[in-house]
Amino acid sequence: MSARKPFIVGIGGTTRAGSSSEQALLLALKHAGAAGAETEAFTGPKLGELPMYDPDPGHLGATGKHLIDSLRRADGVIISSPCYHGGMSGLIKNAIDYIEEMRADDRVYLDGRAMGFIACGYGYQGPGPVLNQLRQTAHALRGWPTPLGVGVNSFVVKFKNSECEDEAIAKQIEIMAQQVVEFARHRIGGLG
């Protein structure tokens, strides 16, 4: 078994600190940490520092460079997006667009990395299509979506201090985070 802890990067939230999608992400990373992973979060306020992605060299900025350096190190990624008009938010999509910087890496994009997803929407309609969109994006980035994706109706499901008040959704977030860590652990050479 590898002595190295899996490194899981979380991306999520809105520009509003404490949003449901941010709190859901932080809960997932807490569970990933409890499962033995090292974690790092890029939440909405930090993502708001990213300018629109520009593929020309020299346009990444400090936050963009930090995001890409962390993703290059990552064994797994968890993304938590709000549902905006039938799709993931522009803030999350912009952060994902930065992964284009990894196009020429030896391990292209997010090749072979586990990817877990949470979609938070104010109703029942939004989370399903956003989860599908995130999974399609994972395939385009050569990532491996976890079997479980978590859809959250934030009208009904509430978060407080990065804890979920709905036991069923809290358990789904825990299972998805564990799936990301378990897959990452297998990829880096361990079996448990």
Higher-pLDDT residue of 56 and 167 is: 167
**Where does residue 103 rank: exposed (0-12), middle (13-18), buried (19+ CB within 10 A)?**
exposed
C-alpha 103/C-alpha 162 separation (Å) is 34
- Average pLDDT on 44-48 reads 89
Distance of CA 164 to the CA centre of its chain: 17
Distance of CA 170 to the CA centre of its chain: 16
pLDDT of 1 > 80? The answer is no
- Average pLDDT on 159-176 reads 95
**CATH superfamily of domain region 7-187:** Flavodoxin domain (3.40.50.360)
Q: Quick one: pLDDT band at residue 56, thresholds 50, 70, 90? A: confident
Residue 168, C-beta contacts closer than 8 angstroms, at least 6 positions apart: none
State residue 152's pLDDT score. Answer: 97
- Condensed to tens digits (0 to 9), the pLDDT of residues 66-84 reads 999 999 999 999 999 999 9
Q: In the 8-state DSSP scheme, what is residue 129?
A: H
Mean pLDDT, the chain, rounded, equals: 94
- Condensed to tens digits (0 to 9), the pLDDT of residues 84-135 reads 999 999 999 999 999 999 999 999 999 999 999 999 999 999 999 999 999 9
Kindly report the number of other CB atoms within 10 A of residue 192's CB atom: 7
State residue 45's pLDDT score. Answer: 86
Q: Quick one: pLDDT band at residue 191, thresholds 50, 70, 90? A: very low
Q: Quick one: pLDDT band at residue 17, thresholds 50, 70, 90? A: confident
pTM of the model: 0.95
pLDDT of 188 > 60? The answer is yes
Give the domain ranges of the chain: 7-187
pLDDT of 2 > 60? The answer is no
